[in-house]
Amino acid sequence: MTDAGTLIRAKRDGNRLADDDIRWLLEAHEAGEVADEQMSALLMAIYFQGLDRAELRTWTAEMIASGDRLDLSSISKPTVDKHSTGGVGDKVSMIVAPLVASCGAAVPHLSGRGLGHTGGTLDKLESIPGFRAGLTPAETLDVLARAGCVICAAGSGLAPADRRLYALRDVTGTIESIPLIASSIMSKKIAGGTRALVLDVKVGTGAFMKSRDKAHELAETMVALGEEQHVRTRALLTRMDAPLGRAVGNAVEVEEAVRALAGDGPPDLMEVTLALAGQMLALAGIEADPAAAIADGRALAAYRMMVSAQGGDPDAPLPQAPHTLRALPAPASGWLSRLDALAVGTAAWRLGAGRARKEHGVSAAAGVICLAKPGERVQAGQPLLELRAEEEGRFSRALAALDGAVEISERDPSASAVSPSPVIEQIG
């Protein structure tokens, strides 16, 4: 008879777990027959020993089977979603969902909240007065049918095993396991019912994956899991060494996303957005030019329709911080060569834009505006950032996070023959 102790020791010693053992383990943990302490020990064993391809396939399938799947069969348009592994200033979802919808696809984007230095799309959209992120499955389908896109929280019935396992991983130092990351992301996305998925795997100081090799491994693992579950899946590796765009926070990122949809987005943000939109449309089998949908106003109209359908007022003023501080003076004249994404994200978090634990609240108005970006000419003493907060007392800790965050070069980067693209690689 299978028991948890035997499986823990087997994985600890580097042996593979049989499909039936994985099914029993996850079902028994859900039923309370396997204690959290035992599951935590197994997660640590997986952290060190990994899961092979067959183990991971079964593990992910069982997490999906632990709950419901969103039934999108009533949606006549081809469905496609995207997922980002998280970064600083990453407001792409708010742009790309209505953009791709305006080109003829249906985009059921089940999103999450920020944690630590990385922002969450739901926190950003909830800075819009009236906007509702918590929708029932019926409401999700209604918004998707009316607006062509929906951005909402994954319902409690989708992959509930993942929530229990993530809570354990969060407190046991096993978050960074690539098989566990991949199965967590993909179980929720597959349960969301989409037929196609594009993954934006961030790489760099402000990303979860700091090295390209690890990011590539995670991307390949997730693409394989998607294809095994009959979801057409591709991944792009994109840079996250500097904030994406100029705004980092919640309401400030909504403002920048709206400007991007109106055709006035920062170049790095637009390059990533258009690359992801192109991949999403290709997987959905739609031939369309996303740049044209921005230029002729269709994308912004789709965004406004989605916000209204989810109870928000797209014309309402967004929250503004009562306190601002222009900070981080350039140490010399020259070209800004580095603006560390992790430092800026941590500063925004300390200003109130982020949370330390999932149950904490966030400030809608707090955040950081990048007054200069890498590659731009700056003068000595010129402030490089604008900090925004609801409480002046938050500025000192935010400034401490920015120590050593910038470098100035005497050389004009535009003189280089090769300008690094924010999109590094395509997988799948």
**314-361 pLDDT, tens per residue?**
999 999 999 999 999 999 999 999 999 999 999 999 999 987 676 678
In Å, how far are 86, 246, 409 from 333, measured between CA atoms? 32, 21, 8
Whether 162 sits among the annotated catalytic residues: the reply is yes
Report d(CA 346, CA 379) in Å as an integer: 25
The C-alpha angle 91, 241, 93, rounded to 5 degrees, equals 15
Q: Which two three-digit tokens encode residue 379?
A: 């003068």
Q: Which pLDDT does position 428 carry in this prediction?
A: 87
Parallel, antiparallel, or unpaired: how do β-strands 232-239 and 196-203 relate?
parallel
Q: In the structure encoding, which two tokens stand for residue 389, read together? A: 């907060």
Which of the residues in the chain have pLDDT under 70?
Answer: 1, 115-116, 356, 358-359, 416-419
Q: Tell me: the pLDDT tens digits for 145-193?
A: 999 999 999 888 899 999 899 889 988 989 889 999 999 999 999 999 9
Catalytic residue from among 11, 29, 109, 169: 169
Q: Does residue 109 have an active-site annotation?
A: no
For residue 197, which phi and psi values (nearest 5 degrees)?
-150, 135
> In a 10 Å sphere around its CB, with 0-12 CB exposed, 13-18 middle and 19+ buried, how is residue 220 labelled?
middle
The one catalytic residue in 124, 188, 189, 350 is 188
Query: Active site includes 315?
Result: no
- Rounded CA-CA distance 268/344 in Å is 17
Listed by start position, the domains of the chain span 4-50, 81-309, 323-415
The CATH class of the 4-50 domain is: mainly alpha
Rounded Cα gap, residues 84 and 106, in angstroms: 18
Give the contacts of 251 (CB within 8 A, at least 6 positions apart). Answer: 124, 127, 318, 319, 320, 364, 365, 367
162, 200, 268, 340: the catalytic one is 162
Domain 81-309 coded CATH 3.30.200.20: no
Catalytic (active site) residue 188? yes
184 annotated active-site = yes
Contacts of 383 (CB under 8 A, 6+ apart): 326, 327, 328, 329, 330, 371
Q: Which of 93, 102, 183, 184 is catalytic?
A: 184
Task: Evaluate the CA torsion angle 219, 222, 226, 227 in order and state its sign.
Answer: positive
Would you identify the CATH topology of the domain 323-415? Answer: Aldehyde Oxidoreductase; domain 3 (3.90.1170)
Domains 81-309 and 323-415 alike in fold? no
